[in-house]
Amino acid sequence: MFRSRHGSTLVEFALAVPVIIALVLPSIQLLRAALFQTRLEVLAFRVARRLAANATPPSDLSAAARTLTAGFRPAVTSHAVARTLTTLAAPYPRRPRTVEVVEVDLTAAGPLLFPGAPYRAHAHAREFRWGAS
């Protein structure tokens, strides 16, 4: 079988490129998705940490979360709630305490994994918040 020297190299290269792309692209896309998910998780953690440290009323938590996530790109949809767990009995003269859990949910459009397969990344974080009853 005869092949020209230049031609054989080009053919091999032309055949190799799609194979390489097929091998590498999914890994890179999955890494991008993992990176984005990690960024979103860390952002949710930070927002929950800040909301738990402030005495923001439960009705204003979502607005505060939106403010804290305003700088994140791409835009994030945020939702925060405070669930009251219980009122703790406290020995005199301590004041009674309520325990709340601040829950933060962030949703954002993730990077394009594969053509025609967009996905939305979601992160959830929670922090305790102690308050006076």
Partner 1 sequence: MNRRGSALVLMMLLTVAALITARLCADMMLAWVGTQRAQTAADFALLSAVRVRGQSLETVAARWDDFGAPITHSGGTLNAPASLVTAIAANALALKRALPGYQGRITSALTVAAEANGVARTAVTQSTPGGLRLGLEAQTQFLSSTGFPTLSIEGLWLRRVWLDTAEAGTAAVSVAWNSPRLGGSWTFTAPASARLEWDADTHDVAVAADGNGGFSGDWVSASSGALFRPDRYPVYRAQLAALP
Burial of 4 (0-12, 13-18, 19+ CB in 10 A): exposed
Strand, coil or helix: what is 121? strand
Binds partner 1 by CB under 8 A, chosen from 93, 115, 117, 120: 93
Residue 28 CA to residue 117 CA, distance in Å, equals 15
How long is the chain?
Answer: 133
Report the nearest approach of partner 1 to the CB of residue 99 (Å).
13
The pairing of strands 120-132 and 97-109 is antiparallel
Query: Could you say whether residue 16 binds partner 1 (CB under 8 A)?
Result: yes
List the x/- string, 39-58, binding to partner 1 by CB under 8 A. x-xx--xx--xx-xxx----
Among 1, 71, 95, 116, binds partner 1 (CB under 8 A): 95
Q: To which H or E segment does residue 97 belong?
A: strand 97-109
Part of the chain binding partner 1 (CB under 8 A), chosen from 33-41, 77-85, 100-108, 116-124: 33-41
Q: Which residues pair with 124 in a beta bridge?
A: 105
CB of 52 to partner 1, least distance (A): 7
Name the residue nearer to partner 1 (CB basis): 53 or 70.
53
Give the distance from CA 57 to its chain's centroid: 24
Binding region for partner 1 (CB under 8 A): 5-6, 8-9, 12-13, 16, 20, 24, 27-28, 31-32, 34-35, 38-39, 41-42, 45-46, 49-50, 52-54, 90, 92-96, 130
